[in-house]
Amino acid sequence: MLEMQDCPFTFSVSLSGGRPTQYDHHITRALSAMHGQYADQQAYAALLDQGDKVIYEVYEIKRPEVAGELPHGVSIVHPGKVGNEYFMTKGHFHAELETAEVYYCLQGTGVMVMETPEGEWSVQDLRPGQVLYVPPRWAHRSVNTGDEDLVMLYVYPGHSGHNYAAIERQGFRKLVVEHNSQPAIVDNPRWRPPGQDLPESF
Ligand code: PA5
Ligand code: NI
User: How confident is the model at residue 110, as a pLDDT?
Assistant: 98
Decide: 149 in ligand 1 pocket, CB within 6 A.
Answer: no
User: How confident is the model at residue 202, as a pLDDT?
Assistant: 45
- 88-101 per-position pLDDT tens digit: 999 999 999 999 99
Q: Which residues are near ligand 2, the ion (C-beta closer than 5 Å)? A: 101
- 189-202 per-position pLDDT tens digit: 999 998 885 554 54
- The yes-or-no verdict on residue 179 having pLDDT over 70 is yes
CA of 109 to the centre of ligand 1 (A): 17
User: How confident is the model at residue 195, as a pLDDT?
Assistant: 84
**Strand boundaries in the chain, DSSP class E:** 25-30, 54-61, 72-77, 81-82, 85-86, 101-107, 110-115, 121-126, 131-134, 139-144, 150-155, 174-179, 182-187
Q: Determine the atom of ligand 1 nearest the C-alpha atom of 167.
A: 14
CA of 156 to the centre of ligand 2 (A): 7
Q: Determine the atom of ligand 1 nearest the C-alpha atom of 60.
A: 5
- 29-76 per-position pLDDT tens digit: 999 999 999 999 999 999 999 999 999 999 999 999 999 999 999 999
User: How confident is the model at residue 3, as a pLDDT?
Assistant: 57
- 6-38 per-position pLDDT tens digit: 899 999 998 887 899 999 999 999 999 999 999
Considering just the CA atoms, what is the radius of gyration of the chain in Å?
17
